[in-house]
A and B are shown apart, each in its own frame.
Chain A
Amino acid sequence: MVVYGVFSILPFDPAALTCGQKCTPQVIEANRIKLGFDKPLWEQYWLFLSGIFLGRTYGAGSAEFSCPAPSFGYSFNENMCVTDMLKEALPVTINLAIGAFIIWIIVGVGLGLLAAKFRGRYPDTLSSVFVLLGTSLPTFVTGLFLLIYVSIKWKIVPLSLEGYKSLFDDPLGYFRYFILGWITLAIAYAAFYTRFTRATVLETLGEDYIRTARAKGLTERVVLLKHTMRAVLAPITTSAGLDIAGLIGGAIITESILNLAGLGRMTIQAVYEFDLSVVVATTMLAATVVITMNLIVDIAYGYLDPRVRMK
């Protein structure tokens, strides 16, 4: 609703943006009525809301077209229902987020564990170099670097020009399409997770129950990988859930640089083109994902931590 409000008071005419340069006032007026911009704001909002559940029909007579429920509006720039645009962009973003997540969790938690185990020694120093680089290099630097060197100069991963491929149709094309994006995102997040894991593991290793575990005669391996990891799991899950939610909202920079047709790129384009309905839709989607992920994390916490488990 806030997004809707902000875009409504902006000093431009949404209807005027619906046609190109050779616009006559008549066409603008016709489009205004077609898209409902002639109605008062509250009614527009109501139409938008009811469209989500009921679908929405624009225009009348032979020019009539409709976006079936759930409809988030119609994008004149793309000449498509926003829902269809989302349907195309969402899988890209989700695949990007999940692939990156798998890499960063393995790398981040692994390095964090190593750093904690060999605290103050070689692996710890190396991992802190990685953390420093990963946190200080923005994604538009790592992304461009990967694109220029790995793809263009060294030709290790060929440039992916064919667009998004599903994993099941074309596994190789799928990996080719995503791999740079995954690595770009994973580097940034893995750095944070390395630091986070190292800190939590070290904190946990100082706990009394870890001393108890050692006093039982357990090996250092079991103490670290079972007792310590079990305690570290909950905070990492929380953090990971929220980070994934953030990424599904769209990794704007990474998607733009590596030309991945995901939500982030879609949103930023829509913002440039004042495509109100698209921006509203992606913002709402991002918000919904964050809220849902929060809920999922809370539920997962119940399983992970017996102290918050419901009776």
Chain B
Amino acid sequence: MKNLLEIKDLKVTFPTDDGFVHAVDGVSISVAPGETVAIVGESGSGKTVTSLSVIGLHNRRVTQISGSIIVNDKNESLDIVSAPLDKIRSYRGRVVSMIFQDPMSSLHPYYRIGSQLAEAYLVHNPGQKEAANKKAVEMLELVGIPEPQVRAKEYPHQFSGGMRQRVMIAMALMNDPAVLIADEPTTALDVTVQAQILQLLKDLQKKLNMGILLITHDLGVVAQVADRVSVMYAGRIVEQGNVDDIFYSPHAPYTLGLLKSVPRIGAKSSERLKAIPGQPPSLINLPTGCAFAPRCEYISLAPSGSCESLKPELLGSNSEHKSRCHVPEDKRDKTFAAEIKGARA
């Protein structure tokens, strides 16, 4: 099946007072219908910038962007990187929708929920006020808001955080988009509400057969909903593969580090969480070699000097599972598998 979203070699750079920030550096990701692709990474790894550029919401005046972001709809397609703003705008909310991290501040405090939803419909179907209002109530019902007719006339402050995120989802789906970008949709929510929202997203995805690009730093969320995963570090993808590959046989030292830093139920109380030592590199002056090298425990396994001087390529014996590392894959397989086993024992 044709991919809905095809990001190829995306590079995003923007100027700051200290110099150019290379926020995204050669990222390629694709999303097929009905598929959930997760981008995982810590703060500042470029995942949010990636997601914002997919909808063309990066600061267009100062940002330098290259590569391509092809969005395929039923019978039209568009390269967001090179398209004019008017064209991108006609895609926003209709073909590609986005939900944001903080539902508390993402809804306009002065407009009624119903009219905010209807507005999303009216942008792309001008003049159809009645249909818009009807659709708004329908969508509220779909995302599980009780008494949608009544609630549509209320204001955001009358909704709880979880309910507001449901409203955001309803708003994003007003025009049955092909792709939904979810930028940390559950980060600001309680854990129980988190699970409900994720379940809701999954159900809606099945119903509407849309592709979801999920941005998160929470491996638990990834395990719950993602089909494929891209792990980002310092603006680049360090490992890409199926969710099982990533969790059971990680190939990149950074992925392994992430997995080891997750607390587990049943761990001995004497066992401490293994944080990855050091800090992520500045995106202004990236090291010449592997960006993760200064924090990596496995440098000794790689050919000497390669980690410090050469950027590793995204490679893999299996085209579905690639990673960036100078350590030979067979060596990594053995060592990492043992570590994962040890950690799970």
Q: Does B102 contact A (CB under 8 A)?
A: yes
Q: Which residue of A lies closest to B172 (CB)?
A: A215
Chain A residues whose C-beta falls within 8 Å of the C-beta of B107 in the assembled complex: 209, 212
- The chain A residue with its CB closest to the CB of B158 is A306
Contact check: which of B55, B108, B168 meets A213 at CB < 8 Å?
A: B108
Number of A-B residue pairs, CB cutoff 8 Å, is 66
CB of A91, distance to nearest CB on chain B (Å)? 36
Which A residues lie within 8 Å of B172 (CB)?
A: 215
**Across the interface, do B92 and A215 meet the contact criterion of CB distance under 8 Å?**
yes
Q: Contacts A207-B105, A216-B120 given: A231-B100 contact, CB under 8 Å?
A: no
User: Does A214 count as interface, using CB distance less than 8 angstroms?
Assistant: yes
Take A208-B102, A307-B157 as given contacts and tell me if A215 and B55 are in contact as well, using a CB distance cutoff of 8 Å.
yes
Rounded to whole Å, the gap between the CB of B73 and the closest CB of chain A is 14
Judging by beta carbons under 8 Å apart, are A306 and B102 in contact? no
Query: Distance (Å) between the CB of B69 and the closest chain A CB?
Result: 15
Selected contact of A211 from candidates B57, B94, B97, CB within 8 Å: B57
With A305-B110, A307-B155 known as contacts, the answer to whether A216 contacts B57 (CB < 8 A) is no
Closest beta carbon of chain A to B62's beta carbon, Å: 11
Write out the residue numbers on chain A whose beta carbons fall within 8 Å of the beta carbon of B151.
Answer: none
Closest to B175 in A: A217
Residue in B94, B109, B155, B157 whose beta carbon sits within 8 Å of that of A209 in the complex: B109
Which of B258-290 touch A at CB < 8 Å? Answer: none
The residue on A at minimum CB distance from B120 is: A216
Q: Does B91 contact A (CB under 8 A)?
A: yes
A208-B100, A231-B110, A307-B155 given; A216·B92 CB < 8 A: yes
Nearest CB in chain A: distance from B122 CB, A: 9
A219 CB–B CB distance under 8 Å: yes
Residue of B nearest to A227 (CB): B108
Partner of B90, one of A212, A217, A231, A304: A217
Looking at A207, A208, A215, which has the most chain B CB atoms within 10 Å of its CB? A215
Are A215 and B97 neighbours in the complex by a CB distance under 8 Å?
Answer: yes
Report whether B108 and A217 are in contact in the complex, using a CB–CB cutoff of 8 Å.
Answer: no
**With A208-B100, A230-B111, A307-B155 in contact, do A217 and B106 touch (Cβ < 8 Å)?**
no
A-side contacts of B102, CB under 8 Å: 208
Q: How far is the CA of A220 from the CA of B89 in the complex (A)?
A: 10
Question: Is B119 part of the binding interface, using a Cβ–Cβ cutoff of 8 Å?
Answer: yes
Is A299 an interface residue, CB under 8 A from the partner? no
Least CB distance, A58 to chain B, in whole angstroms: 55
| Binary flags per residue of A128-155, CB closer than 8 Å to B gives 1, else 0 | 0000000000000000000000000000
Contact with B along A288-311 (1 / 0, CB 8 A): 000000000000000011110000
Q: How far is the CA of A212 from the CA of B106 in the complex (A)?
A: 6
User: A216 contacts B155, CB within 8 Å?
Assistant: no
The answer to the question of B98 belonging to the interface, with a C-beta cut-off of 8 Å to chain A, is: yes
Which residues A157-212 have CB closer than 8 A to chain B? 207-209, 211-212
Task: Find chain A residues with CB under 8 A from B90 CB.
Answer: 217
B86, closest chain A residue (CB): A219
B230 to chain A, nearest CB (A): 22
- List, in ascending order, chain A residues with CB within 8 A of B55's CB: 215
Q: Which of B89, B124, B172 has the most CB of A within 10 A?
A: B89
Size bracket, chain B contacts: 20 to 34
Q: Is B108 a contact partner of A216 (Cβ separation < 8 A)?
A: no
- Which single residue of chain A is at the shortest CB-CB distance from B105? A208
Q: Does B189 contact A (CB under 8 A)?
A: no
- Residues of B near A219 (CB, < 8 A) are 89
Partner of B100, one of A211, A216, A218, A307: A211
Among A216, A230, A304, A307, the one with the most B-chain Cβ atoms within 10 Å of its Cβ is A216
Expressed in whole angstroms, the minimum distance between the Cβ of A61 and any Cβ of chain B is: 66
Cβ contact within 8 Å between A230 and B123? no
For the complex formed, measure the closest distance between the CB of A230 and the CB atoms of chain B, giving whole angstroms: 5
Q: Which residues of B contact A227 (CB under 8 A)?
A: 108
Instruction: Check B171 for interface membership: any CB of A closer than 8 A.
Output: yes
A227 to B107, CA, bound (A): 11
B93 close to chain A: CB less than 8 A? yes
Q: How far is the CB of B90 from chain A (nearest CB, A)?
A: 7
Contacts of B108 in A (CB 8 A): 209, 212-213, 227, 230-231
CB distance from B214 to the nearest CB of A (A): 16
Closest A residue, CB atoms, query B109: A307
> Which has the most chain B C-beta neighbours within 10 Å: A217, A230, A231, A305?
A217
**For the complex, what is the distance from the CA of A217 to the CA of B126, rounded to whole Å?**
12
Q: Tell me the complex Cα distance, A214–B85, Å.
A: 11
User: Would you give the shortest CB distance from A207 to chain B, in whole angstroms?
Assistant: 7
Distance in angstroms between the alpha carbons of A164 and B155 in the assembled complex: 48
Measured between beta carbons, the chain B residues less than 8 angstroms from A217 are 89-94, 120, 123-124
Nearest opposing residue in chain B for A231, CB measure = B110
Of B91, B107, B119, most buried by chain A (CB within 10 Å of CB) is: B119
Q: How many whole Å from A209's CB to the nearest CB in chain B?
A: 4
B positions within 8 Å CB-CB of A: 55, 57, 89-94, 97-98, 100, 102, 105-111, 119-120, 123-124, 155, 157, 168, 171-172
Task: Show 18 residue pairs from A and B whose CB-CB distance is below 8 angstroms, ordered by the A residue.
Answer: A209-B109, A211-B57, A212-B100, A215-B55, A215-B57, A215-B98, A215-B100, A215-B172, A216-B171, A217-B90, A217-B93, A217-B123, A227-B108, A304-B110, A306-B109, A307-B109, A307-B155, A307-B157
Q: Which are the 8 A-B pairs with shortest beta-carbon distances? A: A217-B92, A208-B105, A217-B93, A306-B155, A216-B93, A209-B108, A208-B106, A216-B120
